[in-house]
Structure 1
């Protein structure tokens, strides 16, 4: 069924930076009819921009009591929009009830705008480095660093003697122009200095410790993958050599569908010899059903070895069972956010190429 999300007639479509009082009002429809949101167990507003998901904010079910069917209010709190630069953003409403999760709208997200206030015309930015601006600045620097010092100007030649007064004498010969100074040596670049410069350190920190839902696992995918197994299942879906921090909270989540037996996500840690040290178990996805299996836990001193995520059956199976999974993600904190690639996998694509080109333009190198 086609799901739509619309602003109500009198709702604003934009908000200024720092405004915590403006309230958006939306209406959720399914197949053209307003939906009953009062039966939901949770409602979440999620916002993003052209780069992807940014943040989310919960909407209380009790706030729907005085509203028309399908209507809901969103008053953006500072945690949702603080620090976001002025620009165009997109919004989705995620509604979870006993039947599952519905996302409004079902096609393109609903757009809204954040504008500058009078105190901050340039706007504040999330801790993200704009690669195009970064490359442009580095290339400008290259145009000056690559040039050597200008040679000294040659001495000016002597002027010819003036003839005696009276009859006009012959004009004196002009002096010879002095030789041009030698061109300075081509400037050089300290490659070690470049790669430890604050801009590069800031970029590395951002990549390794993103503020918004960094996926700690590598080799995951947002498209459906097939796994077949018997026994307890325990398919090794991602084996990432990371050490979790004792006392810190982590959340793992994975979409599961198509299995005719109950399944779940299990995160395990083994020693090099194969002894299981610790594990964390997600919620069960019923047979012939689909949904997210999610687990949140606090790591202890055992979580210092290879972390393995597995798709497991609830009971041991004598036959082989097949199904699909996707959106496997392990992240810091107690909230599961939308799936994304590990930042290192993103950096190895076009953005990494741009940075490398900027360094090469300066005469340095980056392997």
Structure 2
């Protein structure tokens, strides 16, 4: 039986420093190779034949420089020796081929980093994979000693002086406003001081006072002394509908906000009757935005005949709307209020 012996069957891919020696045997007796023999080393892998190499001959053996494998990637290679002698072809070995392994170098492997996971993530992964064991958390280690304080760094050079900023008045003008410095100062005052109309949009109920006080978001307060703590009047315990365009007999505050938002109009008030029973003449506006004392409110109810069914209290609602800054002087005069003097 023909066999082949190789002095080394493993090396790194692209290592060109080795010389392989292949010995041929026939029935366990070495066949001496000479320069007159035509030798071919055939190389293949699991896919089949790849290439032929013409080796050297030395001391009756076949020699192959590993430089001949420099272009081959890492893999397991199969070698056959074909020798022509006296017009005959001798193929070694009889059974299969001899194996030469070129192993991978680091350059052949793409590096990756390992992800860091927490103990809880590991527990979850084990549980989801059906693992029976749960990792045990070891005891917390002792706190290490505090390191020494580092030296104070050198003081940096002072930066250049910045440019003088604009005055607040200049910024006000740059924003598109016009006027004197006094106009600017007046613009900073609360709207109630400047007389600018500022209608309310929401409220809170203060039950620490007597009578209770409804505080509006424009700084005004509203009290109903005749009904000091009457929940139906103040809306305590009641859900308000602020989207309707009509009046409620009670609670009273939703009517105010609807009028402020424009849902209840001056025209609606003009023709409305029978829903102003709780608007007592004692109704008080705290910190009013407009002075109601300059007007006579006796006939400020709109259409004729609409005041009788509410005990003559309809004008009180008009007065409150004016004091809260919701309705203008033109509005109340159109309803029948008269300016005094």
TM-score by length of 1: 0.29
Identify the structure with bigger relative contact order (alpha carbons < 8 Å, sequence gap 6+).
1
Higher helix proportion? 2
The structure whose Rg is larger is 2
